[in-house]
Amino acid sequence: MTPMTQAKEELYLRRVFNDDVPVFVDVTRYARRELPYPLSAKKALKATCGVRTDNEIVAFSLRHYTVRQAEREVEHVEDEGQNLLRPRMPRKTLHDLIETARALSSVLGDELIAELDGRLYVLRLTRAADGSTLELVGALTEGEDGYVRSEITGDRFELPVSGVRLRMFLRSPVRDRVLAYAFGGYLARRPGETETVGRAVASALNSLLGLATFRMLSGMNRVETADRSHEPVAFAVPVLLFTADGTPAARGDVAGRSISTTSTR
């Protein structure tokens, strides 16, 4: 007999108090009762995170806000002299995330699977007390007989103007659960610049590690990435040639090109 699925929903708000470090605040009761949540200032809103837990999967949906987005999202009520946010549970995002997590659970293993622009990437996750490390090791494609793993041919992408939409799936080392995480927002680099998949995933994970539930379930406290992230750079070196007796013979530029090396960011 199939056990009954027991689900729990929570909603968190990442905000700042008195221009201090952003922290996650539980606003579940505000969302359930459809009550507005008061903020000292519109810019105090940094992100919202919906969480849904069942017998197999814990899903997280994090949405980052820019200052301009926060201005539109938060209502200023003149009569009460307050800034009010109406928290909403991102149920559709969480539902889609859980469905994908179930489909990937059979091939997940001990690695992390990331989805970006419809493509699936496999990253090796190494946990350590001083920080966890990610390394891109392959790709997944869905075929008639399931998912097929292949070598990665490229890991760079251009950051879109509308922000990054990234989904990640991994197994919890402390609970018998799959962790599914949807990230929406902006990374450290600006739209139009290029980024690597590994760095994007690490940045998204670090954005959620401030939430105690995710930090405990993931077994991580900080994430870095080891990848070949340096693109070859062309440059010119001025050269002056001399004869055996020291007389200048020729001058010009020699073209050079840097070599990509593996680095830890």
pLDDT in tens, 151-206: 987 789 999 999 999 999 999 999 999 999 999 999 888 889 999 999 999 999 99
Structure tokens at 104: 């990937």
Cβ atoms of residues 206 and 125 within 8 Å: no
Instruction: Count CA atoms closer than 13 A to 144's CA, side-chain side.
Output: 0
Rounded Cα distance, 158 and 175, in Å: 36
Rounded Cα distance, 165 and 173, in Å: 25
pLDDT in tens, 193-245: 999 999 999 999 999 999 999 999 999 999 998 754 444 433 344 455 555 55
pTM here is 0.82
pLDDT in tens, 79-100: 777 999 999 999 999 999 999 9
In the prediction, which pLDDT does 262 show? 38
Rounded Cα distance, 63 and 128, in Å: 28
For the chain, percent of residues with pLDDT exceeding 90: 67
Rounded Cα distance, 164 and 117, in Å: 9
